[in-house]
Amino acid sequence: DGHFRFEVQVNGKSAPFLFDTGASSIVLTAETARMLGLRDEHLRFAVPVQTANGRSMTAPVVLDELAVGPIVFTKVSALVAKPGLLNDNLFGQSVLGRLESYEVRGNRLVLRARKG
């Protein structure tokens, strides 16, 4: 469909993500947040975001670990979308900025971890 989608291990659980250079953060759907044990009633939806569908509020969280293949990030700032706001988890700039680089080669996405 012209997008890059891949499985990411979030706190040890697998979830599908959409590569999104336009997203400022990792953003989880409400369903993925529930799967990770993050319940709506324990989240504070206080961070405004602008989406293609307009403005909405999201809840800030910190993920202990996020892994894409051999690349592992710890203490990742993320946002949780309100139920019904997103269809996909977004892999955005809060982790892309922690990579050495990323590039598209034809129909492949290449992520490179920082050394050291």
Q: How many residues comprise the chain?
A: 116
Q: Amino acid identity of 69?
A: G
Per the CB < 8 A criterion, the answer to whether 15 and 30 are in contact is: no
Higher pLDDT, 2 or 64: 64
The model's pTM is 0.92
pLDDT tens, position by position, 52-81: 777 899 999 999 999 999 999 999 999 999
Residue holding tokens 């269809």?
87
pLDDT, residue 51, reads 77
> 3-class DSSP state for residue 34?
helix
